[in-house]
Structure 1
Amino acid sequence: MTRNIAFWRLLGALALTVFFAVIWEGLRFNYDFENFFQQDDPELAFYQEYRSSFENDNDYLLLALGNAPDIYDSLFLEKALALEKELAGLSKVASVVSLLQQEEPLIGPFGVRLRPVLDWSSQEALETSAQRLSEDSQWKGNLLSESEKYLLLFIKNQQMIGKEAGDSLYVAIESAVRSSGIPDYRMAGKIKAQGVFVDLLQQEFSLFMGLAGLWVLVLLWVLYRSWWAVLLPFTIISLGIFWAGSFLLSTGGELDVMLVMQPPILMVIGLSGLVHFLNHYQNSLRKGMPKEAAVASMCKELTLPVFLTALTTSLGFVSLYFTQIISLRWFGLYTGLGVLFLFLALITILPWALYTFPPLASSANLRWARRWERTLQWIFGRMQEHKTAISLGFIGTSLLAGVCMAQIKTNGYIVDSLPEGHPLKEDFTFFDRVFDGSKPLEVSLRVNDPSRNLFDYAVLLEIQKLEDFLRENYKTGNLLSPLTLVKGIHKAQNGGNPKAFSLPTEARYERMTPMLDRWIRENEWGLWTDSLEAGRISARSPDNGSFLGHRQHQRLAQFVAEELDKDLLQVRLTGTSYLIDKSHEQVTRKVFAGLGVAFFLVALIVGLLYRSWRMALIAMVPNVVPLICVGGVMYALGVDFKLSTSIVFAIAFGIAVDDSIHFMTNLRMLLEKGMGLEEGIRRTFLTTGKAIILTTLILSSGFLVLAFSELEIPWFTGVLVSLSLVVALLADLLWLPLLLRPLKKHLENHVDPINPDRQKLPK
């Protein structure tokens, strides 16, 4: 490349920077719970139709108010009632349900009268209420804790509330609770979790950018000890990240729990590519090559291999697009494109900078280069002496790790991303432990027989069997369904006796039909459609993880298939929690499916580079080892497959394969010059080996920046990807040369007869 071409490339980079600066829209953060649903899952389409008939199952906030030794204190109850009325009057609050204003009907000879469930108008009334509630399973565990120390306020907010409106509503609710005079309280729900996650994302973004930027500056100074060799590369990398970020935001993207990792990841990947360019440039200068010739040689010999490594890294990220999970798809796509933006920044700005600024080489650099060469010579010698042991070591380790990896289960939780001990996670755990749970449980009901409806006695018997199974299988207490209305009327007809909260005999049921018909028509509960053909069972259950959840769902499906009359009732599990459980279950399979596509594409690139399928297969072998080893380490540490860990494999492969590409590309150039395979491997080991070691140290230490995160996804990504890169380095330096030796004749026997000095590649 000439100085003139470098200048025109620089102008192109400046023009692109101005364009992205003009369209810059500012940072946007988001945490949409539904971005983790499988978009191609027919269950999602069913749920979207289901909630159009009923409601979104997670638009609520759980508020527990505590009082010691129990809630039966008139002063506490007055404060709680005042708080409930204030909350009910807030904009965007649809309703507040609690025992404080709950009334239950009592049916007697003179008609229907309503009785407060919790009456504290006098001490005697309060004691009577306390005695009655202690025996009433309808309320215990649901709106009243088993210990009777906590009272639950179930706050329904506006359906499908947006992020900004949800934040404002939660701030208003929290303010009201703080000023209520009740110090012991807990809250959990979507509008709280969403706000906490976005706040964390903003903090994490600032932390990652600060740490990654500082780390890059320090590393550049340690490597090159020149002000321009620190500031200019940092500027190039920053511009590439700016281009990628501006493109993301201008196309409607937002920074979520995944994309918040993009800038530091791009920073370390960009530095890795830059070090390859500068290392080649310095080596040329040490050989006595003029600066202009060194820059031209660098561009000629490294543009293709660095582009190929950028492409393979990009493919690793883009493979996440196959997961069909919005958050993972956009992270993979935008980060993959970001890697290519960084490559563009390198090839458009770096050549001009090297032409313009003084050479980097120095006597100190020369001394370090000699130490590097002596060290690598020693390693190469030891490698020749222990060929069999090295191969057996990698094979044995891979087999052992593979066996361990096969035993890892898939398991995830609703608030998986949060660290242990985080206040929000503790709040969700509190509701799982003290009340029925924090995780919504939804079951769709549909009557198959057109001559019947949900309130046909035979159908109610099927619902009764289903509810009994749900209570046992999901360890939940109170269930709301069409049967709840029937049980409530039966209880009312028996003077409010808690034991009468049950399905009556068919004869008794026939006698309550006139009253039942009136309440059915009012339909204020949202548990059945006006046609009475479809309904729902709604409850909350503890979040015991998707592994147990999957087995619970399987048992439910088996029960429905074997125990319920399909001619009467069609039952289908649905809801946001069920969809998240399915996402955890499916994401591992889809990540590895996408990884298979990435393997194929990278193998195709290597095959085209060498025009040999054998070389493509050999190049892939060392890149399987780090992935298997990461799986083995996960098993040893007790880490499960889930959204936050499965993505590591796609990221790790895309980056780890870069070392193989660099090694194979350099070897290819030496073979084309007529060098034998043995000498070509040795020369590649001594030259490219240094760059591979440096870039691995840069990448692995850079990814460890993510280990400072409070969120689980960045933490696992940082630690496990760093581990995989170190293993990939060992496999590429120690095992790949040994794997290439059996192909000696295959590679050396293809000499062009017209030009014997030019090595032909095998076909």
Structure 2
Amino acid sequence: MFKKPTALAFLGFGILLTLSILIFRPVPSFDYDFEQFFPLDDPDLAFYQDFEKQFESDNDYLLMAIENPDGTWLDSAFLEKSSQTQNQIRKLEGVDSLISILDFQLPVIGLFGMRQVSVLDWETKEKLEASREKLSQFQPSLISQDGKSILFLIKNNPSLSKEEGDTLYREIREVFRTNGIAPKAVAGKIQTQGDFVTLMQNEFGLFLGLSFILMFLALFLIFRSWWGIVIPLVVLVLGVLWAFALILYSGKPLDIMSVMQPTIFLIVGLSALVHYFTEFIKKLKAGISRDLAVQQTFQQLTFAVWLTIFTTAIGFLSLYFTSIPALKTFGLWTGLGILVIFLGLVLITPGLLYLIPISEKRQVSVTHKSSFLPILFSKIIQNRKQILWAFSGVSVVCLILGSQLNINGYLLDNLPSDHPIQQDVSFFDSQFGGSNPLEIAVTAGDQANSLLEYEVLQEMDKLERKLQETFGEREIISPLSLVKFLNQAQNQGSSAAFIFPTQGQYLRMRRYLKQAVASEGEKIISLDQKTGRVSTRIPDLGSLEMGKKRAEILAFVEQEINPDLLKVRWTGTAYLIDRSHESVTRQMLQGLSVAFLIVGLIGGFLFRSWRLAFLLLIPNVVPLIWMLGLMYVMGIEFKLTTSILFSIAFGIAVDDTIHFMSKLKTELSTGKSLHYAIKRTFIEAGRAIILTSVILVMGFGLLAFSQFGVTHFTGLLISFTLVFALAADLFLLPVLLFPMKKIWDQKVIGYSQAQNPPK
């Protein structure tokens, strides 16, 4: 397969494929949709999708805080300018509604029926001054807690694409600019997704460039020859081009997880090339001709390299068996991309090595023959028991520490705390009650015909008082809020009357209920009045704290709310994201189980022994346990984006073990004793394992500098885990192999009989 004519034919095919991609270039697109992190198999997702159709999305809004830089916002000129801005925004295509204190109206019931009266009137100084008394009711919903800012709550069309959302946000900002107003803080989906995508594009290019620089330096330090730099760079550039072409031709946009893919593709490919090139140079130095060295190198190593590439891909592909769409697509396309990188290695590298002139007389060794590995091996032999106790002790401590890790995630986990988006969200949390939607679905019980029946409203009032007690005083929009507004209307708009009505007050307002539902309630209560929503905004407290508060409220509902009158169920996008974080244990076990199973099958097939296959897993489970302890020490909590790293780290870490075991199998097949075969493997494979581990650690270490949480933690934790895996392969694996002498002897006899069958 790797003889010169075949290799040159493969190279020609690779060139044609590359030219085709360059001629029919795929168009890259970037997208960010946090709803891709919702668990697909969660019944709460199906419930929310029906809820969203009936009412509206709780996530398609934009919060904009406005402050008068020249003084109080209760200034006629500023209010006029703000009102003009508001009216222009309402006319923009894609804006469904805009709510603000500027034209907010309250119902007032008089002799001639119900009419709407504006809360704020700045036509004259006297009217503006009279408006002040009504404003406290709207703190902190439409007016900030400190009274210095007002809020524009812009609801956009939920069907807007990412590009349409970007356009709408630019148009809104332009309206503010032309009117000479600069928003103090902004938070919302169309703004966040635009900023996320910009940051993604910047980091994608940054890490792609840094990865190439790192590769160049690594190749220079390892091989110190021009062809040892040029050939790997060409191969890896083409491999990455093919991998991303496959992703883009599928129509998949690049997302937040894609930031990691260039670095992953490059360092995985580079570590594979190091194995090929070290063996190739070794053969050249032994006096073998270049053509024969190329052929023998690729014939001897391709199966072992394929196994290591395959197990790395499996670490990512195992994510496809989770229930989170973002993780499924990331795992699938990263795993396939790694396999494409391998395809590029075997199609292009041999042909280039045949074509490019390489001096066969004098080659610089990859590493000088090291004396520290034989010395290290002797130390390991002498201290086998101490090594076992040390690894066991550290693993037990890490398990104990890891068991204390909390599962906790935030909506904006992926951004650093000092990012402008985080700062704006913090402003809304402190001044406007929060930016995170809280949604509860309410349904009339079996003994009720409508949510607007007095007995049902009493139950709803209990629920809302519990919400106020749990989350603090805030505006809550619900069927009950319609009734409270009507009670206020019966009392000439007095804010003190925005309370639950007495039965007599309720009876007097009943004739206005239908009118109120028709004008204000279509997004709050269904037409048949049997289902509705209880909606407010709260700070992002994290899934751990919110889980406790939800449990507290559900316990209250079970004890205090009559289910025959009112049924209560949590829903909403924030709830679904929290559910995703809460499912991390299941997601992690699903991914790891698939990875363990496949690697175990590979080990069993390769060595024809399930005991050896199990042994192969041990030095790769230990680094995962140590990663648990490291997370505790570094204060890193379990969340969706950190739980997936275990299966990824396992798939990458197992490569060195497979390389070690494959080399050991080769040594044993020549008839060497177990002790001598382990020693030769340790010295020969040890150098390559150390080199590839250093490359992988440096590559993933780059990702630790990302501003995205998922990318940062991937780089940080996998880098440490690879160091732990290297220690396990060099120290623990040889110690575990010595007691397997009987099994290995049987295997050696089996290999010998297979090669020399009896006549």
Q: Same fold (TM over 0.5)?
A: yes
Question: Residue 23 and residue 40 in structure 1: after superposition, are their counterparts in 2 closer, same or farther (change >3 A)?
Answer: farther
**Partner residue of 2:132?**
130
Mapped contact 1:476–1:541 kept (Cα < 8 A): no
Mapped contact 2:106–2:117 kept (Cα < 8 A): yes
Equivalent residue for 1:566, pick from 539, 563, 571: 563
Mapped pair 1:102 → 2:101: no
Mapped contact 2:276–2:297 kept (Cα < 8 A): yes
**Partner residue of 1:530?**
527
Mapped contact 2:227–2:358 kept (Cα < 8 A): no
**Partner residue of 1:470?**
467
Partners of 1:692 and 1:751 in 2: how far apart? 24
**Partner residue of 1:267?**
266
Instruction: Indicate the SS of the match to 1:480.
Output: coil
Instruction: Indicate the SS of the match to 1:539.
Output: strand
Q: What amino acid is the match of 1:654?
A: G
**Partner residue of 2:65?**
64
* C-alpha RMSD over aligned residues: 2.0
Question: Residue 403 and residue 372 in structure 1: after superposition, are their counterparts in 2 closer, same or farther (change >3 A)?
Answer: farther
Question: Residue 361 and residue 209 in structure 1: after superposition, are their counterparts in 2 closer, same or farther (change >3 A)?
Answer: farther
**Matches of residues 418-567 of structure 1 in structure 2 within 5 Å?**
418-449=415-446, 452-475=449-472, 477-523=474-520, 525-567=522-564
Mapped contact 1:476–1:539 kept (Cα < 8 A): no
Displacement of 1:757: 9.8
Q: What amino acid is the match of 2:247?
A: L
Moved more, 482-491 or 375-384: 375-384
**Matches of residues 647-666 of structure 1 in structure 2 within 5 Å?**
647-666=644-663
Partners of 1:750 and 1:579 in 2: how far apart? 53
**Matches of residues 705-744 of structure 1 in structure 2 within 5 Å?**
705-744=702-741
**Matches of residues 341-352 of structure 1 in structure 2 within 5 Å?**
341-352=340-351
Instruction: Indicate the SS of the match to 2:570.
Output: strand
Partners of 1:691 and 1:260 in 2: how far apart? 28
**Matches of residues 640-719 of structure 1 in structure 2 within 5 Å?**
640-719=637-716
**Matches of residues 368-379 of structure 1 in structure 2 within 5 Å?**
369=367, 371-379=368-376
Mapped contact 2:399–2:628 kept (Cα < 8 A): yes
Moved more, 625-634 or 466-475: 466-475
Mapped contact 1:667–1:684 kept (Cα < 8 A): yes
Mapped pair 1:390 → 2:400: no
Displacement of 1:226: 2.3
Instruction: Indicate the SS of the match to 1:442.
Output: strand
**Partner residue of 1:74?**
76
Displacement of 1:681: 0.6
Moved more, 560-569 or 614-623: 560-569
Displacement of 1:483: 0.9
Partners of 1:613 and 1:518 in 2: how far apart? 74
The one-character-per-residue Cα deviations of 1:361-407 (angstroms, maximum 9, x if unpaired) are 776734x64x4431212222222222222221111111111111111
Q: What amino acid is the match of 1:58?
A: N
The one-character-per-residue Cα deviations of 1:452-487 (angstroms, maximum 9, x if unpaired) are 111111111111111111222234610111111110
**Partner residue of 2:186?**
187
Partners of 1:188 and 1:557 in 2: how far apart? 29
Partners of 2:755 and 2:196 in 1: how far apart? 59
Mapped contact 1:29–1:256 kept (Cα < 8 A): yes
Mapped pair 1:632 → 2:629: yes
**Partner residue of 1:318?**
317
Question: Residue 489 and residue 500 in structure 1: after superposition, are their counterparts in 2 closer, same or farther (change >3 A)?
Answer: same
Moved more, 259-268 or 8-17: 8-17
Mapped contact 2:39–2:576 kept (Cα < 8 A): yes
**Partner residue of 1:4?**
5
**Partner residue of 1:296?**
295
Question: Residue 476 and residue 360 in structure 1: after superposition, are their counterparts in 2 closer, same or farther (change >3 A)?
Answer: farther
Instruction: Indicate the SS of the match to 1:99.
Output: coil
Mapped pair 1:582 → 2:579: yes
Displacement of 1:500: 1.1
Partners of 2:748 and 2:35 in 1: how far apart? 59
The one-character-per-residue Cα deviations of 1:116-169 (angstroms, maximum 9, x if unpaired) are 2122233333233223323x2xx1110111211111111111123211111011
Q: What amino acid is the match of 1:57?
A: D
Partners of 1:119 and 1:522 in 2: how far apart? 22
Mapped contact 2:587–2:643 kept (Cα < 8 A): no
Identity of aligned residues (%): 43
Q: What amino acid is the match of 2:220?
A: W
**Partner residue of 2:18?**
17
Question: Residue 441 and residue 751 in structure 1: after superposition, are their counterparts in 2 closer, same or farther (change >3 A)?
Answer: closer
Question: Residue 48 and residue 289 in structure 1: after superposition, are their counterparts in 2 closer, same or farther (change >3 A)?
Answer: same
Moved more, 72-81 or 11-20: 11-20
Mapped contact 1:56–1:160 kept (Cα < 8 A): no
Displacement of 1:517: 2.3
Unaligned runs of 5+ in 1: none
Partners of 1:564 and 1:252 in 2: how far apart? 49
Partners of 1:311 and 1:602 in 2: how far apart? 9
Q: What amino acid is the match of 1:275?
A: V
Mapped pair 1:258 → 2:257: yes
Displacement of 1:566: 1.1
**Partner residue of 1:87?**
89
The one-character-per-residue Cα deviations of 1:63-122 (angstroms, maximum 9, x if unpaired) are 111247643222322222122112112221111111111121222345444432122233
Partners of 2:357 and 2:473 in 1: how far apart? 72
Question: Residue 362 and residue 527 in structure 1: after superposition, are their counterparts in 2 closer, same or farther (change >3 A)?
Answer: farther
Mapped contact 2:479–2:521 kept (Cα < 8 A): no
Instruction: Indicate the SS of the match to 2:284.
Output: helix
**Partner residue of 2:212?**
213
Instruction: Indicate the SS of the match to 2:460.
Output: helix
Question: Residue 753 and residue 25 in structure 1: after superposition, are their counterparts in 2 closer, same or farther (change >3 A)?
Answer: closer
Q: What amino acid is the match of 1:25?
A: P
Partners of 1:715 and 1:737 in 2: how far apart? 33
Instruction: Indicate the SS of the match to 1:512.
Output: helix
Partners of 1:223 and 1:386 in 2: how far apart? 32
Mapped contact 1:752–1:758 kept (Cα < 8 A): no
Question: Residue 540 and residue 445 in structure 1: after superposition, are their counterparts in 2 closer, same or farther (change >3 A)?
Answer: same
TM-score computed with the length of structure 2 as normaliser: 0.96
Mapped contact 1:216–1:271 kept (Cα < 8 A): yes
Instruction: Indicate the SS of the match to 1:492.
Output: helix
Mapped contact 1:59–1:160 kept (Cα < 8 A): no
Mapped contact 1:673–1:757 kept (Cα < 8 A): no
Instruction: Indicate the SS of the match to 1:90.
Output: coil
Mapped contact 1:29–1:255 kept (Cα < 8 A): yes
Instruction: Indicate the SS of the match to 1:421.
Output: coil
Mapped contact 2:669–2:748 kept (Cα < 8 A): no
Unaligned runs of 5+ in 2: none
Question: Residue 661 and residue 577 in structure 1: after superposition, are their counterparts in 2 closer, same or farther (change >3 A)?
Answer: same
Partners of 1:362 and 1:317 in 2: how far apart? 42
Instruction: Indicate the SS of the match to 1:339.
Output: helix
Q: What amino acid is the match of 2:42?
A: D
Displacement of 1:665: 0.3
Instruction: Indicate the SS of the match to 1:258.
Output: helix
Q: What amino acid is the match of 1:491?
A: Q
Instruction: Indicate the SS of the match to 1:538.
Output: strand
Instruction: Indicate the SS of the match to 2:123.
Output: coil
Partners of 2:730 and 2:667 in 1: how far apart? 17
Displacement of 1:758: 5.2
